[in-house]
Chain A
C-alpha cells in the first residue's frame, strides 16, 4: 500500500465520521436532580426544557419506562437542534459517560445572568501556605516518644476523631523502651485529630504540665510520605509518688507500701494485719 492510498483512506474515514457526527443527535448521560414543570435538571444544577411530547424510555429495554424521571435516576437525554430534550432513557444504575456536556450546556435555562463567584477563584498560594490537597495517597509514619515511667509491657495506641475516639483504634509497634511507631496510608486533605493512649481514656496522654491536652492535629497535604513525631510527657493515670491509679472496674485495693505483695505470707510485714 502506497502512502498516497493510505492518506486517501484516512481522509475518507475522517470525512465519514464528520458526516455521521453532523447528523447524530446531541446526547448526554448524567444523574437527575428533578423533573417538573417542563424541565429536567441534572446534578450539574442545569435545567433543560423538555418537549411536551418527550419520549421516556427504559434505557435497558428501549421500551417506554414504567416510572417517572426523578432525583437520583440516571438518564440519557437526547436534544433536538433547539436544545429541547426530546427523549429521556432512564436507568437505576450509573450510565457510562456519553456526549459532550459542554455542547449542551448553553441550552440550560436560567433567568439571571451568570455572575462570577469570587469565592471560587483559586486561592492565592499564600492563603493555603502553598499547600496542595489532591486526595492522593500519602504514607504517614507516626513516631512517639513516651515518658520514661511507661511500663515495659505497655501497649500504645492512637485514638482519633475518625474512629469515634476509640482508645484502642490504632495499635502502635514498640521500637524501644521509649518509642512507638505505626505506619498508615491516608488521603491528602485528611484533617485528623488524635491522641496517644495506653488502651483507655483513663491512660490517655496529658500535657507536659499534667493537664488534659487538646488533641494533636494532622493536616495532610500532598506528599509521597509524611513523618509525624510527637512526645508524650505524661499519662493520665500517673499520680504522685509514681504509683498508678487503679483502672475502673478492678476491685479497689488500698495504697500498699509493701513492695513485695506477691510473696508468700510470712513474718511481718507480710501480710497486713487483719482481724484487729
Chain B
C-alpha cells in the first residue's frame, strides 16, 4: 500500500500545478453567499495579492464567478511603484484591468493596464458597473469568517469560520469551485448522507472529514485526501474511520501521453480497533491502462488480490484474535487485454455496430475450480463480441415532438472460451419504444431477451447435474431441466414526471418471464450497495413482477432527498423490499 500511495501521489504531482491568482483577505466581518458565489467583507479590509500588491479599505466585494473584486472606502494601495490612495479600486482579474478612483489633489479615474502600476491610463472611461455592490439585502450568508484565501476560479479557504445555519464555529473551511473535475475524484463508497467538511486545501489538493450514514455502518466518520492537476489525480481515504472494519482506498489516474492513460484503484480491507494492529487485512488492486488507436482502443486490465497482508499468526491457530479473523494466504490474479472498436455506421442506415476481442488469464494457487476431479489453479480465456444497434427511428408526427414515437433496438452477443473446456455465450436483444408526454413527463416500453449459456465440452451433465430444489417442503422438479442455459424475458415500463426542477417522480415496472422459472425463496434478492440499490440489473430467479418508485425533492437550496422502494407483488410472500433507498445529494 505505501508503494501504491507513493505511485499515486507521484502521478498527481508530476503534472504542473494549476496556475491561479491568489487573493488573501482579512476583515472584521467576511460573509460568503454560497448560492451566488459572492464574498462580502466590511471593516478593516486588508487584501494582498500574490504579485505583491497590498490594498486596505473599508469594504470588499468579490463575485467569484465573474472573477472580479472591489475594495471601497479609504483605499490605500501599496505596490512596487509606491503608494496611492483613493475611494475605490476594482480588479477585473480575468482581463488584467484594475480600475481606480484616486484622490490626489482632487478625485480622478485611473486604469491600470496589464498590472502596470507605473503608468496609469488617466481619465479612461470605465465599465458602468465597475464599482457596484451586489444586493444581498435579502440573502443569508452561508458562513462568516475573519479571513479567506481565494484562488481565482479555483478555491477558497476560510479561517475562523462560523457556519450561519448551524451556528457552528470552525477553525477553517475550504471550498473548491474549479472547472477541473479531477479535484473531486473520490475513493469513498456511496452513503445515504454525507456531510463533508473540507478543512484545508489549495488549487491542487484538499483534505476532508466526512460525517456519513448508511444502513450498514450507521453513523461514522471518514477521511479523504485529494490531489489533482488537469491531467492526473489521486484520492486517498479511510472509510469508515470510526468502525473496526475499515477500507483504505486509493483511486488514482493519469494521462500518460495524449493517447494513453492509466488508472488505479486499490483497496485495503482491515479489521482493526482504532488504528491498532489489524486482526486481518487484505488488499485488492485494479490497474487499467488504455491506449487509443485510430478506430479502436486497447485496454489492459489487471486485478490482484492478496487475502493476507499480515504475517502468519504466531499462535499457530490460524487466526488473529478470534476465529473469524482466520489467516488466509490465498492470492489471486486476473489480467486481460482487449480491443474495442468505435461504433461504425452501416452505410446510411440508422444502424451502428462495434466489435471487441480480448484474452485473459486468471490464477489462484489454491484452486479456481474443481472439474472432472481436476483442480484448476489457472486458466486462459478469450472472448469475441459484437454489438449492433439502432439509436432511434422516429415514427409518427415529426412536426410535433410530443407525438413522435422513438424506436430503438440493440443486439449484443459475446462468446468467451476457457482453457478449462467450457464456453460462455451471452446474447441480448432489446427493442424499445418511447414518447414524450408533454414537457414534463416521459414514458417508454422495452422488451428484452437475454440468453445466457455455459456450455461444457462433453460434460454438460457433469457440470450442471439436474437439481430438484425443495423449498419449505415443496419440491420443484421442473428446475431439473436447467442445465446451464438460461433465458430471461423482461418487459419494462419506465415513466418519469418532473413538474419542477425541485420535484421529480420515477417509476419502473417490470415483468420477468424466465427459464428456469423463479422459485420463491430459492434465490435471495440481489446484493445491494450501501444505499440499498441492487448491484445487478437482472438475474436468474428474480421475482416475476417488480415495480420501483422513486421521488426526488429539494429540501434545501443545496440539498435534495431521494427516496425509493421496490414492490414485488407478493412473490413468495414478498411485497415491499425491506430496504428503502434513501440518499441526500447536492
Q: Closest residue to B185 on the A side, CB-wise?
A: A201
In chain B between 378 and 397, which residues have their CB closer than 8 angstroms to a CB of chain A?
381, 383, 385, 387, 389, 391-392
Does A3 belong to the interface (CB within 8 Å)? no
Count class of interface residues, chain B: 35 or more
Q: Chain B, 120-135, contact with A by CB distance < 8 Å: what is the 0/1 string? A: 0111111110111101
**Across the interface, do B123 and A209 meet the contact criterion of CB distance under 8 Å?**
no
**Across the interface, do A165 and B181 meet the contact criterion of CB distance under 8 Å?**
yes
Q: For residue B42, which residues in chain A have a CB less than 8 angstroms away from its CB?
A: 71-72
Q: Closest residue to A181 on the B side, CB-wise?
A: B442
**Across the interface, do B534 and A153 meet the contact criterion of CB distance under 8 Å?**
yes
In chain B between 235 and 254, which residues have their CB closer than 8 angstroms to a CB of chain A?
239, 247, 249, 251, 253
Main secondary structure of the interface of A (DSSP, over half): loop
How near does chain A come to B138, taking the closest CB pair, in angstroms?
A: 10
Q: Chain A, 65-109, contact with B by CB distance < 8 Å: what is the 0/1 string? A: 000001110000000000000000000011000000000000011
Does A120 belong to the interface (CB within 8 Å)? yes
Q: For residue A120, which residues in chain B have a CB less than 8 angstroms away from its CB?
A: 125, 127
Q: Closest residue to A258 on the B side, CB-wise?
A: B454
How near does chain B come to A112, taking the closest CB pair, in angstroms?
A: 3
How near does chain A come to B154, taking the closest CB pair, in angstroms?
A: 11
Q: Chain A, 236-270, contact with B by CB distance < 8 Å: what is the 0/1 string? A: 10011110011111111011011110111011110
Q: Closest residue to A252 on the B side, CB-wise?
A: B284
Does B332 belong to the interface (CB within 8 Å)? yes
Does A14 belong to the interface (CB within 8 Å)? no
**Across the interface, do A259 and B181 meet the contact criterion of CB distance under 8 Å?**
no
Q: Which of B57, B261, B292, B446 contacts A71 (CB 8 A)?
A: B57
Does B272 belong to the interface (CB within 8 Å)? no
Q: Which of A178, A260, A269 contacts B392 (CB 8 A)?
A: A178
Q: Which of B490, B552, B583, B585 contacts A152 (CB 8 A)?
A: B490
Given contact pairs A174-B444, A248-B265, A209 touches B125 in the complex (Cβ within 8 A):
no
Q: Which of B301, B362, B446 contacts A176 (CB 8 A)?
A: B446
Cα A41 to Cα B190 in complex, Å, equals: 53
Does B498 belong to the interface (CB within 8 Å)? yes
Q: Closest residue to B282 on the A side, CB-wise?
A: A252
Q: Closest residue to B187 on the A side, CB-wise?
A: A248
Q: Which of A93, A163, A183, A212 has the largest number of chain B CB atoms within 10 A? A: A212
Does B509 belong to the interface (CB within 8 Å)? no
Does B58 belong to the interface (CB within 8 Å)? yes
Q: For residue A110, which residues in chain B have a CB less than 8 angstroms away from its CB?
A: 106-109, 123
Count class of interface residues, chain A: 35 or more
In chain A between 202 and 257, which residues have their CB closer than 8 angstroms to a CB of chain B?
202, 204, 207-212, 215, 233-234, 236, 239-242, 245-252, 254-255, 257
Does B504 belong to the interface (CB within 8 Å)? yes
How near does chain A come to B437, taking the closest CB pair, in angstroms?
A: 11
**Across the interface, do B123 and A249 meet the contact criterion of CB distance under 8 Å?**
no
**Across the interface, do B106 and A163 meet the contact criterion of CB distance under 8 Å?**
no
Q: For residue B430, which residues in chain A have a CB less than 8 angstroms away from its CB?
A: 152, 177
How near does chain A come to B239, taking the closest CB pair, in angstroms?
A: 7
Q: For residue A138, which residues in chain B have a CB less than 8 angstroms away from its CB?
A: none
Q: Which of A41, A174, A185 has the largest number of chain B CB atoms within 10 A? A: A174
Q: Which of A163, A211, A259 contacts B292 (CB 8 A)?
A: A211
Does A37 belong to the interface (CB within 8 Å)? yes
Does B424 belong to the interface (CB within 8 Å)? yes
Q: Which of B190, B292, B301, B535 contacts A200 (CB 8 A)?
A: B190
Q: Which of B367, B432, B454 contacts A276 (CB 8 A)?
A: B367
Q: Chain B, 418-444, contact with A by CB distance < 8 Å: what is the 0/1 string? A: 100000101000101110100110101
**Across the interface, do A169 and B299 meet the contact criterion of CB distance under 8 Å?**
no
**Across the interface, do B179 and A193 meet the contact criterion of CB distance under 8 Å?**
yes
Q: For residue A166, which residues in chain B have a CB less than 8 angstroms away from its CB?
A: 184, 585-586
How near does chain B come to A196, taking the closest CB pair, in angstroms?
A: 12
Cα A180 to Cα B23 in complex, Å, equals: 41
Does B366 belong to the interface (CB within 8 Å)? yes
**Across the interface, do B249 and A249 meet the contact criterion of CB distance under 8 Å?**
yes
Does B103 belong to the interface (CB within 8 Å)? yes
Q: Which stretch in B11-19, B157-165, B313-321, B538-546 binds the other chain?
A: B538-546
Q: For residue B176, which residues in chain A have a CB less than 8 angstroms away from its CB?
A: 164
Does B312 belong to the interface (CB within 8 Å)? no
Q: For residue A204, which residues in chain B have a CB less than 8 angstroms away from its CB?
A: 181
How near does chain A come to B561, taking the closest CB pair, in angstroms?
A: 12
Q: Closest residue to B58 on the A side, CB-wise?
A: A71
Cα A140 to Cα B578 in complex, Å, equals: 38
Q: For residue A263, which residues in chain B have a CB less than 8 angstroms away from its CB?
A: 523, 540-541
In chain B between 45 and 74, which residues have their CB closer than 8 angstroms to a CB of chain A?
57-59, 72-74
How near does chain B come to A224, taking the closest CB pair, in angstroms?
A: 13
Cα A165 to Cα B586 in complex, Å, equals: 10
Q: Which of B337, B367, B462, B498 contacts A240 (CB 8 A)?
A: B337
Could you list which residues of chain A lie within 8 angstroms of chain B, going by C-beta atoms? 31, 33-37, 39, 41, 43-45, 47, 70-72, 93-94, 108-117, 119-120, 145, 148-149, 151-154, 159, 161, 163-169, 171, 173-179, 181-185, 193, 195, 199-202, 204, 207-212, 215, 233-234, 236, 239-242, 245-252, 254-255, 257-260, 262-264, 266-269, 272-273, 276
- 6 more contacts with CB within 8 A, not counting A117-B126, A248-B267, are A36-B87, A70-B59, A117-B124, A209-B297, A248-B249, A273-B369
**Which 9 pairs, one residue from A and one from B, show the smallest C-beta to C-beta distance?**
A249-B189, A240-B338, A112-B123, A209-B292, A210-B297, A71-B73, A252-B284, A47-B107, A176-B434
